[in-house]
Chains A and B, each alone.
Chain A
Amino acid sequence: MKITKEIVERIEGEATLELEWQNKKISYAKIKFLNYRAIEDILKDKHMLDSLMITPRVCGICSHSHVTATINAIEDSYKNIGIELQLTDKAKYIRELVLNAEKIQNHIKWFYFLILPELFKINQGKFVNTEPFKDREWFEAQSAITNILKMGSIFSGQWPHGSYLMSGGVTCDPLQSDITNAKNLLFSVQEFCEERLYGCDIDEFLQIESMSDLMNFDLTLDTSVTIMKELEFNAIGKSYDRFISFGSYMNIAKPLKAIKTRVFNANIKFAKESLENSFFKDNKKGFTYSKSAVYKDDFYEVGPLARLMISKDPLIRDCHRRCSDSVISRIVARVKEIAILLKRSSFLLENIDIKEKSLKTPKFLPKNITSQGIGVVEAARGTLIHKIFVEDGKITKFDIIPPTVWNLGNGSPKKPSIAQKAIIGLDSIEKADFVFKSFDICSVCTTQ
């Protein structure tokens, strides 16, 4: 048996894939994350509200998701001592809008900075119009990213690492002119997606229910799907075909899971982290700092594909019918989610009532709180969970379960994790690398 180590670069942080081979096929893969920053320890003994400063620094690409999970956990702590903080619609909408901006940024960046360059490399340069720092479309994508974050920053103050959230609402208090500015920026990003990515206007695109209708535009999304089909990528990267999402998403407000196309209720109390294979359990036998998240001992995929399978998105259901949970479905789902988020953001901007209060200050002071709470948010890569434990206003324990530990943890040869299962059986390092990246890896989140 041959074992190779492949260091996967150009992801958020770094990971190592250790691949075992039998008969020229990958028989097992160990996914190693070797950098650990001990953020949960850093949070210990800090004042409760300081977590709003610290947790965004878990991750430079999803800092707003982390701060949102933290504020949800803090507000849940209030709730657990009988103080329910009622947020205005304005505060709720602004929180969602800022999060959407981050997710749109993430998906465009992932597609243009990572997936397309990889396809370019694999396909030996036949797909040439998006080379970083060179091609017009790449600069346009970078500009779209900048603009969508500018839109979010009108409310959050800055991105990354904005800290505009506080118990009971948001700290910003926008004017009507700020909303207009945000609408202009959102429109410019929508235009980029229509003209470069999708090939039709966003409403038309959201109506598309079949993959064959998607393939009529000869623009970046459908061209990349064509290339992936030629490379037979519809057959690679399949995992358990099980999906889960705990946070609220569009019209879905409760935890749900899907096994293939059937959707069931889920309960967050069955979500747990396993330390198996990690240095935390056994410094010698362990090989990674990453934990693994399971639902009732089973692995479930999280992220855009999971969300769209659970919400029964027609296009993604059709893609799934043809390609199952392969890399193509994962990629199309993520790019489709950009359109859904743009549309939703437009609705939010139309409906923010600036006359409402931004924040209702809780009368109960943070320093008097002894409680605990759970904060859940649907981040770009899937469900993110923060658990906070507070005594007299100081943090005694903080637990972060990022989306990536659902997808990128390690199981065992008998029961591999989501990404392991997707990699096992492949016949080249190149494919393993691409399948791995189709999960949108974030090593800084994974190990914190």
Chain B
Amino acid sequence: MLTKNGQNCGKIKKRGVNMSTFHSKKTIVWIQGITCNGDSHSFFNYPGMKNFAKNFDIVYHPLLLSDYSLDSILKSTQRFDYLIVEGSFTKVRDYIDRGGHSFEELIENLSKRVEYIICAGSCASFGGIFAQRDKQNITGALFRAEEEGGYWDKNKKVINIPGCPLHPKWLVDTLFMLKDGNTVLLDEYLRPKEEFSYLVHHGCLRNEYFEWKIDTKNFGEKEGCLFYEQGCRGPMTHANCNKILWNEVSSKTRAGSPCLGCTEPDFPRDNVYETKTLMSLPLAPYGISKRAYYTVTGIAKSFKIDRLEKKLIEGYNENN
């Protein structure tokens, strides 16, 4: 008999493939609401997958071969450690069908027999891009954009790992923290502080241009800051993208594209490639008073820094 924490594990009907037990590993069931599968594909990019597989067992994932069908999981009484939910939450039957089941059936059935519910991505956390269709009925687990109260009003098991998509490290690092019994400190939107205390601005290679208020003249250049004209949300978006980098090599701002603020509950905003201004000034960065920011801006702007007006590497891009 397979056992884990004294629970009987043998109750799920197997599909007939000989499979080792998962008693020494933490078990994960991954389900989807209204989604594009982007968080799954981001997760598949995790570079330490072997070590992940030593420590966790994905008992069910909609895109992967597993020994158990969704039906057999739902019919079992097995307890699992973590439920990962990708995609927006909804109670509207017509909006979603998962193997003949409504999203409500899935979530009500599974949420009661797990230790933690991890909302993978901005859709599951806040409603995300698909909530634009029907903001009333398409939400996150506990939030409707910035407002509290989503699919549930309360649920103490929920951890939000937003991002469109989420970074695979955010998910796996959180899973390891939970597995190892470490405290996972959460912010007001239930995001792990380890990752989301940083701003996208931190580690941005354009920081010096931000300091001296020099905007990029055009897209497609290494020089200049994208905050003043191109709509960059780096200074007000919580995420460590520019610390850990995407796909281990880059980020939106490093590829010359503005941060879209995808880890914040107000994602997606309108007119994202233009900076909203107030009296021709951009909004102040997160947690910086307007007075402090505009004073510094005024002073910084009054200087002309020759070095920063030039190309980073003179001699490149000369023949255009």
List chain A positions with a Cβ less than 8 A from chain B: 7, 9-14, 16, 34-38, 41-42, 46-47, 49-50, 52-54, 57-61, 63, 88, 91, 109, 113-114, 117-118, 120-121, 125, 131-134, 139, 142-143, 145-146, 149-150, 152-164, 166, 168-173, 175, 181, 354-359, 361, 444
Contact of A42 with B250 at beta-carbon distance under 8 Å, contacts A121-B17, A142-B49 already known: no
Contact call B38/A160, Cβ cutoff below 8 A: yes
Residues of B within 8 A of A163 (CB): 252, 257, 260
Contact call B44/A109, Cβ cutoff below 8 A: yes
Residues of B within 8 A of A132 (CB): 64-65
A61 to B44, CA, bound (A): 11
What's the nearest-Cβ distance from chain A to residue B32, in Å? 8
Residues of B within 8 A of A162 (CB): 252, 255, 257
A59 to B273, CA, bound (A): 21
Across the two chains, which residue of chain B brings its CB closest to A42? Answer: B132
A146 to B95, CA, bound (A): 32
Contact call A57/B38, Cβ cutoff below 8 A: yes
A114 to B99, CA, bound (A): 18
Residues of A within 8 A of B79 (CB): none
List chain B positions with a Cβ less than 8 A from chain A: 17, 34-42, 44-47, 49-50, 53, 58, 62-65, 69-70, 95-100, 129-130, 132-133, 164-165, 218-222, 246-257, 260, 262, 268, 270-274, 313, 316-320
Contact call A158/B36, Cβ cutoff below 8 A: no
| Cβ-neighbour of A57 out of B129, B133, B319 (below 8 A) | B129
What's the nearest-Cβ distance from chain B to residue A181, in Å? 7
Contact call B249/A7, Cβ cutoff below 8 A: no
A221 to B84, CA, bound (A): 34
Give the number of residue pairs across the A-B interface with Cβ within 8 Å. 220
Contact of A34 with B97 at beta-carbon distance under 8 Å, contacts A158-B252, A163-B257, A164-B255 already known: yes
Residues of A within 8 A of B97 (CB): 14, 34-35
Contact call A139/B50, Cβ cutoff below 8 A: yes
| Cβ-neighbour of A53 out of B130, B256, B268 (below 8 A) | B268
Across the two chains, which residue of chain B brings its CB closest to A166? Answer: B219
Across the two chains, which residue of chain B brings its CB closest to A448? Answer: B36
Contact call A356/B320, Cβ cutoff below 8 A: yes
Contact call A156/B255, Cβ cutoff below 8 A: yes
A171 to B250, CA, bound (A): 13
- 19 A-B contact pairs sorted by A residue (CB < 8 Å): A7-B100, A14-B62, A47-B272, A50-B268, A50-B271, A50-B272, A60-B38, A125-B17, A133-B53, A139-B53, A157-B251, A161-B164, A164-B252, A166-B220, A166-B273, A170-B256, A173-B221, A361-B219, A444-B36
Closest 5 CB pairs of A and B: A157-B255, A359-B220, A60-B38, A358-B220, A158-B246
Contact call B36/A171, Cβ cutoff below 8 A: no
Contact call A53/B272, Cβ cutoff below 8 A: yes
Contact call A359/B218, Cβ cutoff below 8 A: yes
Besides A42-B129, A358-B256, 18 new A-B residue pairs in contact (Cβ under 8 A), listed by A number: A7-B100, A50-B273, A53-B272, A57-B164, A113-B65, A117-B65, A142-B49, A150-B248, A153-B247, A157-B254, A159-B247, A161-B38, A162-B257, A163-B252, A171-B255, A355-B318, A356-B320, A358-B220
| Cβ-neighbour of B255 out of A118, A160, A172, A361 (below 8 A) | A172
Contact call A59/B252, Cβ cutoff below 8 A: no
Contact of A60 with B40 at beta-carbon distance under 8 Å, contacts A53-B272, A113-B63 already known: yes
User: Which applies to chain A's interface (DSSP): helix, strand, loop or mixed?
Assistant: mixed
A160 to B17, CA, bound (A): 33
A98 to B250, CA, bound (A): 13
Contact call A356/B271, Cβ cutoff below 8 A: no
Across the two chains, which residue of chain A brings its CB closest to B58? Answer: A133
Contact of A10 with B63 at beta-carbon distance under 8 Å, contacts A57-B129, A171-B220, A357-B320 already known: yes
Contact call A157/B65, Cβ cutoff below 8 A: no
Residues of A within 8 A of B42 (CB): 60, 160
A16 to B70, CA, bound (A): 14
Contact of A150 with B249 at beta-carbon distance under 8 Å, contacts A57-B129, A356-B319 already known: yes
What's the nearest-Cβ distance from chain B to residue A97, in Å? 13
Across the two chains, which residue of chain B brings its CB closest to A49? Answer: B273
Contact of A42 with B260 at beta-carbon distance under 8 Å, contacts A113-B63, A125-B17, A157-B251 already known: no
Contact call A181/B249, Cβ cutoff below 8 A: yes
| Cβ-neighbour of B222 out of A14, A133, A166, A173 (below 8 A) | A173
Contact call B99/A7, Cβ cutoff below 8 A: yes
Residues of A within 8 A of B271 (CB): 47, 49-50
A154 to B246, CA, bound (A): 9
Across the two chains, which residue of chain B brings its CB closest to A150? Answer: B247
Residues of A within 8 A of B95 (CB): 35-36
Residues of A within 8 A of B270 (CB): 46-47, 50
What's the nearest-Cβ distance from chain B to residue A307, in Å? 23
Contact call A169/B220, Cβ cutoff below 8 A: yes
A152 to B221, CA, bound (A): 18
What's the nearest-Cβ distance from chain A to residue B248, in Å? 6
Contact of A172 with B256 at beta-carbon distance under 8 Å, contacts A7-B99, A132-B64, A157-B251 already known: yes
Residues of B within 8 A of A150 (CB): 247-249
Across the two chains, which residue of chain B brings its CB closest to A445? Answer: B36
Contact call B319/A355, Cβ cutoff below 8 A: yes
A181 to B248, CA, bound (A): 12
What's the nearest-Cβ distance from chain A to residue B243, in Å? 14
Across the two chains, which residue of chain B brings its CB closest to A357? Answer: B320
What's the nearest-Cβ distance from chain A to residue B262, in Å? 8
Across the two chains, which residue of chain B brings its CB closest to A366? Answer: B273
A42 to B127, CA, bound (A): 14
A46 to B274, CA, bound (A): 13
Residues of B within 8 A of A357 (CB): 220, 317, 320
A234 to B254, CA, bound (A): 48
Contact call B45/A361, Cβ cutoff below 8 A: no
Residues of B within 8 A of A57 (CB): 36, 38, 129, 164
What's the nearest-Cβ distance from chain A to residue B214, in Å? 16
A131 to B17, CA, bound (A): 11
Residues of B within 8 A of A171 (CB): 219-220, 255-257
Q: Among the interface residues B70, B246, B257, B274, which one has the most CB atoms of the partner chain A within 10 A?
A: B257
Residues of A within 8 A of B164 (CB): 57, 161
Contact call B45/A37, Cβ cutoff below 8 A: no
A259 to B220, CA, bound (A): 43
Contact call B37/A59, Cβ cutoff below 8 A: yes
A225 to B196, CA, bound (A): 48
Across the two chains, which residue of chain B brings its CB closest to A159? Answer: B247
